[in-house]
Structure 1
Amino acid sequence: MKKMVAALLCSLPLAWSLAAPEVYERDPDHTFAWFEFNHLGYSMQRDRFDKVDATVTLDLENQVGNVEVAIDVQSVSTGSRMFDRVLRSETFFDANKFPQITFKSTRLSFGKFDDVTSVEGILTVKGISRPLTLTVTHFKCMMHPMLRKPACGLNATGKVSRSDFNLGRFVPLIGDEITLHVSMEALKR
């Protein structure tokens, strides 16, 4: 009996280390992406996408994970119906032909407190894929106080050149550099 208990106790750390990664799905009310750019030197304009789908897989103990994001291009929101139509048109995003913008991580970097510090991956816009590193400016996982289930949240930012994605119309009058921002809250499946 003692040998069986000893064997069981020895196998617990192995079973713990083989635990499945946790999968989190985005909370649609608290997940969105926005972008900002220089408009004719007058101001920094900020526009957003209202429909963002995301799944995050995390194994904090082993410091590995995966992020997959799909953005509905039709959900672009500038505050102006006319500009929304222009951005959805063939001139810019060509939403009918390319209805989604996607991001798939290739590597997550972790800090000393099991916090995610950056997400490297591939951003695809209009069928064109380019590497993108998002710097995570905030990351937290804990029990959701109202829903009583595990949840994680993050804010991240990165920069791209819109001309790299065949979106360079009016450069240099309208800035080529785009700063991307993501706010996401996700609940454990």
Structure 2
Amino acid sequence: MALGLLRRRRSRSAPGAAPDLSLPLPAGAGAYGCEVVDPMGQPLGGAEVTVTALDSHRVAARGTTDPYGLFMATLPPGSYSVLVAAEGLTPARDNVDILAGAVLPPARVALLPARQLELPPPGTWLFDPPHTAIRFIAKHVGMAHVHGRFTRFTGGIRITPDMVDSQVSVRIDAASITTGNRTRDNHLRSADFLDVEHYPYIDFTSTRFVYRGGSRWTLNGTLTMHGTSRSVGLDTTYLGTVNGGYEQELRCAALAKAELHREDFTLNWRSMLARGIAVVGPTVQLELDVQAMYRTAETPTPPE
């Protein structure tokens, strides 16, 4: 309905004017809206928009632009990172501050043609935890999605002269899972789910990088969870390399996504409805938002 309101209000605006995003807001909420256009300045439907809270690294809103290139989300007050991406185009990222009762003027986001970004120089790159997030989205059967993340992990990337032979390794502390609900988190750590007492780590080790064009790669590898290893492919968007951070370190960044099926990892979780805990659906969406710092070729390979 919100986007319908946007379209109707836009149709009454002068040509070329930004759409008017005025609409009723829930009590205490603010709103963010954007209009995404392609390199020719035309509305871009189907672009992916991800809004992430800067303090918790949790995804607050996610969706795609409508056929008019419009996206809107109502959000709690706070600071957020907004990532806009579309196939064959360079992703765009910006930070926004949301105030209660305020509707920000719509941001016009122009996506540029994807270019072959300069790849990171060979060597070892270690994940920077304060600027890296490992998130997941699971669905309660018959209920809304549950957003969660892992707060403790180590990992890195060993870049080789031939990128396809590079390697990534990640070790996640399974007990660090958090969804914002203590009862649910304790249950996820129990033998019904991750069984962290017997399987304290979730490990991913890559086997090969496969180039998909532009800034997109598929990262093939092995994910080990709950004592079971399976081959997975991470759809990865390389975001480039910059000098930044407190010590002006050389950094690279990437966004990677995968869909996991819990039965593949022998997580045939039984119904907890009798205890008031809802059943989790069969698939989990995994997302890694990574920044890694260059640590020269002499740095030991990250733990496998």
TM-score by length of 2: 0.52
Matched AA of 1:43: A
Matched AA of 2:232: L
Structure with the larger strand share: 1
CA distance in structure 2 between the partners assigned to 1:105 and 1:43 by the alignment: 32
What 5-or-longer segments of structure 1 have no aligned partner?
1-19
Counterpart of 1:3 in structure 2 is none
Distance 1:58 1:111, change over 3 A: farther
Shift of 1:24: 0.3
Shift of 1:146: 4.4
Pairing partner for 1:168 from 256, 262, 268 = 268
Structure 1 residue 185 corresponds to structure 2 residue 286: no
Pairing partner for 2:253 from 123, 146, 153 = 153
CA distance in structure 1 between the partners assigned to 2:237 and 2:122 by the alignment: 23
CA distance in structure 1 between the partners assigned to 2:243 and 2:209 by the alignment: 22
| RMSD (CA atoms) | 2.1
Maintained 8 Å contact 2:172/2:201: yes
Count of residue pairs the alignment pairs up:
168
Shift of 1:77: 0.5
Maintained 8 Å contact 2:260/2:283: yes
Maintained 8 Å contact 1:31/1:52: no
Shift of 1:173: 4.8
CA distance in structure 2 between the partners assigned to 1:111 and 1:176 by the alignment: 28
Counterpart of 1:134 in structure 2 is 234
Structure 1 residue 85 corresponds to structure 2 residue 85: no
Structure 1 residue 48 corresponds to structure 2 residue 154: no
TM-score by length of 1: 0.81
Identity of aligned residues (%): 29
Matched AA of 1:128: T
Counterpart of 1:117 in structure 2 is 217
Shift of 1:91: 0.7
Q: Could you list the per-position Cα deviations for residues 111-160 of structure 1 after superposition, in whole angstroms to 9, with x for gaps in the alignment? A: 556x4512110000011000010001343222226432211111110011
CA distance in structure 2 between the partners assigned to 1:91 and 1:111 by the alignment: 38
Counterpart of 2:243 in structure 1 is 143
Maintained 8 Å contact 1:32/1:51: no
Distance 1:145 1:29, change over 3 A: closer
What 5-or-longer segments of structure 2 have no aligned partner?
1-120, 272-277, 296-304
CA distance in structure 2 between the partners assigned to 1:67 and 1:130 by the alignment: 16
Distance 1:148 1:131, change over 3 A: same
Maintained 8 Å contact 1:32/1:184: yes
Ranked by relative contact order (alpha carbons within 8 Å, sequence separation 6 or more), the top structure is 1
Distance 1:91 1:58, change over 3 A: same
Shift of 1:21: 2.8
